[in-house]
Amino acid sequence: MTARTAAGSATVRARVPVVLHRARGRTAELVTFRGLPDDGEHLACLVPARDPRRTPLARLHSECLTGDVLGSAHCDCGPQLDESLALLARHGGVLLYLRQEGRGIGLYNKLDAYLLQRHDPGTDTFEANRLLGRGADERDYLTAAVMLRTLGLHRVRLLTNNPDKVRQLRAHGVDVTETLPTGVHRTPENAAYLEAKARSGHRLPAGRPAHRPDTEVPA
């Protein structure tokens, strides 16, 4: 399978079946690629759809080692990943795990940004990136679009609160037919982080709880 873009083409390198306990024990395929537009080892996690007639659910999840793996309370990345996998377990679809740590600035720089915020609580996550001489958000979703198109997914329902993901996917040839908001995983520790995301344009409805995996995603 091949996806043609201005950046060239990509092909599937391998498909590896795994059982995911965080997806309620469902079997999924982990898919790797050759020829993506950047050098990141990005991964697609495909969960078979319960109803193949519906437009597939998709989540673009940027890597966050501190939140996804270590359970850091600084952000909402780990809870968003768990929420996404629970929904995929229920409905099927695809999660793209994108190696874009720290909004594209890398793990070490992200931890340096944490130190800046610790020393000056008035500095938010975006401003801390800029103080390090980096962009507030350096992520680009061309690679995500190529991954989806390589998998034959030209139309998706996107699970996100970030309108930039929607805009970029559409610009790169993926039809986002619907945007489904994630829950707001607010805690005392990550409240300032979520407020900074809202100021940056993320749509975070006040008080919206996370999706329950035992309920239907809207049609």
Catalytic residue numbers?
137, 139
- Cβ proximity of 22 and 68 under 8 Å: no
Q: How far apart are CA 93 and CA 26, in angstroms?
A: 12
Place of tokens 């309620």: 24
Q: How far apart are CA 86 and CA 182, in angstroms?
A: 12
